[in-house]
Chains A and B, each alone.
Chain A
Amino acid sequence: MTEPGSGAQTLFDLKEMELNFGPQHPSTHGVLRLKLKVDGERIVDCYPIIGYLHRGTEKLFELHPYFQNVPHTDRMDYVAAATNNLAYVAAVERLFGLTVPPRARYIRTLLCELQRISSHLLWLATHAIDIGAMTPFFYTFREREIILDLFEEYCGARLTLNCMRPGGQPFDLTVGWEERCREFIDDFPSKIDEYEGLLTENRIWKKRTVGVGVLDPDVAVDYGVTGPLLRGSGVNWDLRKATPYEAYGEVEFDVPLGKNGDTYDRYIIRMEEMRQSSRIITQCLDKLPEGKIMAHRPRVMKGPKVGEAYAAIEAPKGVLGFYIVSDGKPGPYRCRVRPPSFMNLQVLPEMTRNHLLSDLVAIIGTTDIVLGEIDR
């Protein structure tokens, strides 16, 4: 037995120990690696290591003309392709000065809100499984399947949608799509009640989420955290309200805000966001105007002027921005993606400090990260 303080360390002297979490771990939602410093089961520090899924998307953007880059955006946040498409085409439209016809704006809003619901459903399913509730997975995938079918009917793809073009929409809605969408969305709030019946007042769920991963609003803003994470801490910033784009200025909806900034608040907010999304979809279907779906533009677009444009939208995970620099050629000189998950993951060490190792899984789940977007 070594004397305490002699410098030699045995297992029992060791107070803090390093632990590798991931990259191949089912609850890291992809290939995220965390270097943890733990004191028993308590997390002292956490150092995320990313980049395992780096594909050089920003370099690829520079190789292709503006109008051929949309499919690259699908592969970033691969569970919410429609919002990625929208952020990219919005930046290109701003660069070229294109104006989108109203029908296309409404179709885009419809697709984006359906995408938000499907992204939140996937989040709920995996988050609940991480914490130990198996059943919500089957419930949410039932509804997600219908949304993916609607996407498939509209553009032929279920995940990598490629469903928007700079200047408008490539296709009009298919015959009967509106009815099928309305049928789904009329029924959907009752489905949310089902999920909430399983979780909201569930004692185990509350024990695992209330007071876990508290995020201070000032810290959240300082770290550039956006989306439900930021609103969970009570900061009212939703780009759909702040700078309305597409048809969001013409529909009514509320922005849910949290009070405590913990995992439970963020769960409540995402559930409420799904309800608000279905409200937006119903209004869009009611107001859907007739007319053109593509702006008048030359058949072959020459390069824009030398300049730059930045456009940001509210993606399901937070603010997704595209910054495009043009040198007058047909393709972007530089195309920068501002991924919401990247900034949201950065705050993870702040949220996990002094929590138990088992809470780490809940906190990773609540940040709702997609590694395809972080590593690009």
Chain B
Amino acid sequence: MNDEPKKPGQDELPADEGGAETTPESPEADAPEAAEADDQAKAEAKAKAEAVAKAKAAAEAKAAAEAAKPPWEKLPVAPEDEDATDDPLVAALREQHGEAIESAFLCAGDLRVQVARSAIADVCRSLKIDHDFTMAEDLCGVHYPGREVGEFEVVYHLYNIPENRRLRLKVAAGEGESVPTVALVHRGFNWLEREAYDMYGIRFEGHPDMTRILLWEGFNGYPLRKDFPVEGIDTGSAIYPEYYDESAGPVTGTGTGWRPQPPPEPEPEPGAAAGEAEEGEG
């Protein structure tokens, strides 16, 4: 850094002399060039450092501004899953049910516990009796075609009114596997289990009234499964078994034999008709 002021002077001198004696003192001639290059590099480095510092400051200012912004001005950040195995409730359940409590996560304030299929009724009962989860809030099915641990999932929502706490239990079930009913623990789950059966075909073992609830009793198929067509299917065979084969129904356009009529042909003009007639005669 100290050399810097001198260098311009040194630069000039060799440049003047350089015309006469460039060849013998090549190292000296190199030196100014090297110095020049060095100088340039240094200046560049300095500029770079300055730019970096500036950018850093700008970024910091931006970050500070971003941090100072109210949350609705920031870009949304989706909530993350956290492991909740050490949650006191989960620990208590583990103690009671052991391996039946498979995993526990906390996401956006909701505790989510994966439970073994065979133990769900017992887990619900102990939650109701020992942990005050008395409110049967919701039960629904979800369909994951081709999933290894079981194609279907039953999701239970329980609520603890005194502590204002919600708990989500999940059970996996394969096609044809039945889930123990919780309708005898919380009577509110009675209709909800019927709905899950109606929509997904998940059977609940020990349910007092395992019939369809929203669709009619002869409906063919489970409409919320992913492979069920949105347009729906015909279930005519259930109403008119004498007309349709099993699991078949009316096909579009065949029912009554009615077809859209083709538009009437325009009447030929009198002149043209006369001409035609003449031609025919000819």
Assess the A51–B216 pair: CB atoms within 8 A: yes
Query: In the bound complex, what is the Cα–Cα distance between A242 and B81 (angstroms)?
Result: 24
Given contacts A295-B72, A295-B76, A307-B79, contact A343 B188 (CB under 8 A): yes
Indicate whether B166 reaches chain A with its CB closer than 8 angstroms.
yes
Contacts of B74 in A (CB 8 A): 99, 296
* One of A71-79, A218-226, A275-283, A357-365 at the interface: A218-226
Indicate whether B215 reaches chain A with its CB closer than 8 angstroms.
yes
Residues 163-196 of chain B, each 1 if its beta carbon lies under 8 Å from chain A, else 0:
0101010000000000000000011111100000
Contacts of A342 in B (CB 8 A): 191
Assess the B164–A346 pair: CB atoms within 8 A: no
Query: In the bound complex, what is the Cα–Cα distance between A304 and B191 (angstroms)?
Result: 32
Interface residues of A in 86-101 (CB under 8 A from B): 94-101
Number of chain A interface residues as a range = 35 or more
Assess the A101–B72 pair: CB atoms within 8 A: yes
Given contacts A50-B214, A222-B187, A307-B107, contact A97 B138 (CB under 8 A): no
Given contacts A51-B213, A321-B157, contact A292 B72 (CB under 8 A): yes
Q: How many residues of B contact A (CB 8 A)?
A: 45
Indicate whether A336 reaches chain B with its CB closer than 8 angstroms.
yes
Residues 96-119 of chain A, each 1 if its beta carbon lies under 8 Å from chain B, else 0:
111111000000000000000000
Indicate whether B103 reaches chain A with its CB closer than 8 angstroms.
no
Interface residues of B in 63-89 (CB under 8 A from A): 70-79, 81
Query: In the bound complex, what is the Cα–Cα distance between A168 and B107 (angstroms)?
Result: 23
* One of B15-23, B30-38, B129-137, B236-244 at the interface: B129-137
Query: In the bound complex, what is the Cα–Cα distance between A95 and B223 (angstroms)?
Result: 25
Interface residues of B in 35-67 (CB under 8 A from A): none
Assess the B138–A59 pair: CB atoms within 8 A: no
Query: In the bound complex, what is the Cα–Cα distance between A346 and B138 (angstroms)?
Result: 13
Indicate whether B1 reaches chain A with its CB closer than 8 angstroms.
no
Query: In the bound complex, what is the Cα–Cα distance between A50 and B217 (angstroms)?
Result: 12
Contacts of B143 in A (CB 8 A): 334
Assess the A310–B110 pair: CB atoms within 8 A: yes
Residue in A60, A94, A243 whose CB lies within 8 Å of B79: A94
Residue in A94, A221, A321 whose CB lies within 8 Å of B108: A94
Indicate whether A298 reaches chain B with its CB closer than 8 angstroms.
yes
Which residue of B is nearest A243, CB measured?
B164
Query: In the bound complex, what is the Cα–Cα distance between A235 and B135 (angstroms)?
Result: 11
Contacts of A304 in B (CB 8 A): 78
Given contacts A101-B70, A222-B186, A310-B168, contact A235 B161 (CB under 8 A): yes
Assess the B137–A321 pair: CB atoms within 8 A: yes
Indicate whether B90 reaches chain A with its CB closer than 8 angstroms.
no
Indicate whether A188 reaches chain B with its CB closer than 8 angstroms.
no
* B112 CB to nearest chain A CB (Å): 8
Contacts of B202 in A (CB 8 A): none
Indicate whether A297 reaches chain B with its CB closer than 8 angstroms.
yes
Given contacts A58-B224, A222-B134, contact A336 B166 (CB under 8 A): no
Indicate whether A325 reaches chain B with its CB closer than 8 angstroms.
yes
Indicate whether B123 reaches chain A with its CB closer than 8 angstroms.
no
Contacts of B137 in A (CB 8 A): 224, 312, 319, 321, 338
Assess the B224–A221 pair: CB atoms within 8 A: no
* A58 CB to nearest chain B CB (Å): 6
Indicate whether A137 reaches chain B with its CB closer than 8 angstroms.
no
Residues 119-151 of chain A, each 1 if its beta carbon lies under 8 Å from chain B, else 0:
000000000000000000000000000000000
Indicate whether B106 reaches chain A with its CB closer than 8 angstroms.
no
Query: In the bound complex, what is the Cα–Cα distance between A292 and B74 (angstroms)?
Result: 13
Indicate whether A273 reaches chain B with its CB closer than 8 angstroms.
no
Contacts of A205 in B (CB 8 A): none
Contacts of A100 in B (CB 8 A): 72
Contacts of A97 in B (CB 8 A): 76-79
Contacts of A298 in B (CB 8 A): 75
Assess the B135–A310 pair: CB atoms within 8 A: no
Indicate whether B233 reaches chain A with its CB closer than 8 angstroms.
no
Nearest 7 CB-CB pairings of A with B: A224-B188, A51-B214, A99-B71, A295-B72, A224-B136, A336-B140, A338-B138
Additional A-B contact list (11), CB under 8 Å, known A222-B188, A338-B140: A94-B108, A96-B78, A99-B74, A221-B135, A222-B134, A243-B164, A296-B72, A298-B75, A309-B107, A334-B142, A343-B136
Residues of A within 8 A of B (CB): 50-51, 54, 56, 58-60, 63, 94-101, 167-168, 219, 221-225, 235, 237, 242-243, 292, 295-298, 304-305, 307-310, 312, 319, 321, 323, 325, 333-334, 336, 338, 342-343, 346, 375-376
Residues of B within 8 A of A (CB): 70-79, 81, 107-108, 110, 112, 134-138, 140, 142-143, 155, 157, 161, 164, 166, 168, 186-191, 199, 212-216, 223-224, 228, 230
